[in-house]
Amino acid sequence: MSVLLPCLRLVVLAGLALATVPSSGQAFQTDTVDRAILFRNVRIFDGKATTLSPPSHVLVVGNRIRTISRQPLTPDPSLNARVIEGGGRTLMPGLIDAHWHSMLIAPDLMTAMTADVGYLNLLAADVAEQTLMQGFTSVRDMGGPSFGLKRAIDTGLVPGPRIFPSGAMISQTGGHGDFRLPHEVPRAAGELSHFERMGAAMIADGPDAVRTRAREQLMLGASQIKLMAGGGVSSLYDPLDVSQYTVEELRAAVEAAENWGTYVAVHAYTSRAVRNAIEAGVKCIEHGQLVDEDTARLMARNGTWWSLQPFLDDEDANPKEGESRRKQLMVSEGTDRAFALARKYGINVAFGTDILFNRKGMPRHNAQLAKLARWYTPGEVLRIATGDNGRLLALSGERSSYRGRLGVIEEDALADLLLVDGDPVADIGLIEDPARNFVVIVKDGRIVKNSLD
């Protein structure tokens, strides 16, 4: 007992130390005075309008936008403001990807299913830095064990975007999130697969089990909950046309999330899966390329968000073969119609890429956003990936660890900013080359890139 007591004291002290880690999501501060940045002579894309402002000046103090002015600004000398001469360039909010998988981009499927989670975290940290340097300052993580990565980014240990984590994807047996191999079926009561043990996905059948799994993710820090409500392209067992989870099962997760002041998003492609989700109270549909017009009208009437990806049969399509290739073509053939329906009925559209098990897709991150110009004007494309996506992130309410508005340039908004060498409203192609054209990147009021020096 005399040996155990000191050990127990160390455990308690360690727990208290962990409890003092800032929960605001801001990096540790070492400055003794407020940091400040003054952008002079910039044209602002504010994330709300689809045009640029006249020449303006923007003062950032700490991690907030303090002042926006058409007149030159002279900040208090005590701020010791860093001055960036914009030279008429475009200042815009940091980009937001609303369907991201921080932990599941770099590894291929077999590596993700078998590798040690420590190795996967190292891969993910590399992806996180690349994500930030491509101008994406926030991501909504739609499934995977990203809580540790988020903490490392938020405390300044590694560079990366703000992460809005969903935690483990919740799936029914044989659903889109069931990555077990055939020899693992059936499983003994309480037995978890490797994918479940690492927190990438959780299998739950019946309302009570779904409720438990949703509550577990909220306990771990999820800002929203992700369920699989229909078949998928990359999954092993489920055809694309199947509906997954009953309305009662979906509603159990919705109630758990609403009790925590947040919402549920679901993976779904078909009209039936989407209608079940809406009936259960789900706030956001991920994908949905196969919905019919009546379902699109229903989404519009209910104010449901539609997180759409530019899935086309092009260079950004993950290589597939066999049955997965057939499903991939079904989705790509529905993409044009889905965007047309979203426009026709004024549905709230979010942009995300859903790059998965495909590290080679990372350099095409920005190009996938630029592809939205197939359906929208450049100004609308940029607004979707900034202000509109920021409104979707805000649905997490108090479950967000980032206190402040994202995706907009307005006074008192969080200072996540890009200075673009040119006018992306006139030429959306500028965003496809962030290394060249994003000359300054600011996240949380801190300069993470400045190629003007």
Query: In the predicted model, what is the mean pLDDT of residues 288-309?
Result: 98
- Residue 34 pLDDT: 56
- Residue 7 pLDDT: 43
Helix or strand run (H / E) with residue 152: helix 147-154
Question: Does pLDDT of 29 surpass 80?
Answer: no
Segment 150-208, tens digit of pLDDT: 999 999 999 999 999 999 999 999 999 998 888 888 888 788 988 899 999 999 999 99
Question: Which among 98, 221, 200 is positioned nearest to 150, based on CA atoms?
Answer: 221
**Cβ proximity of 202 and 171 under 8 Å:** yes
- Residue 324 pLDDT: 85
Give me the chain's average pLDDT, please: 91
What tokens does 89 get?
């360039």
SS3 284: strand
SS3 330: helix
Question: Does pLDDT of 26 surpass 80?
Answer: no
Segment 406-429, tens digit of pLDDT: 999 999 999 999 999 999 999 999
- Residue 188 pLDDT: 81
Q: Which residue has the higher pLDDT, 235 or 274?
A: 274
**Cβ proximity of 195 and 138 under 8 Å:** no
Question: Does pLDDT of 33 surpass 50?
Answer: no
The answer to whether the Cα torsion of 238, 241, 245, 250 is positive or negative is positive
**Cβ proximity of 437 and 443 under 8 Å:** no
- Residue 181 pLDDT: 81
Sorted by where each starts, the structural domains of the chain and their CATH numbers stand as 36-94+407-450 (2.30.40.10), 95-375 (3.20.20.140)
Segment 246-273, tens digit of pLDDT: 999 999 999 999 999 999 999 999 999 9
Residue 48 CB coordination number (10 Å): 16
What percent of the chain stands above pLDDT 70?
92
- Residue 193 pLDDT: 86
CA 265 to chain centre: 12
Dist CA 70 CA 247 (whole Å): 53
Structure confidence at residue 19 as a pLDDT band (50, 70, 90): very low
- Residue 187 pLDDT: 83
Question: Which among 306, 384, 387, 303 is positioned nearest to 342, based on CA atoms?
Answer: 306
Segment 49-72, tens digit of pLDDT: 999 999 999 999 999 999 999 999
Phi then psi for 45, rounded to 5 degrees? -100, 110
Query: In the predicted model, what is the mean pLDDT of residues 36-56?
Result: 98
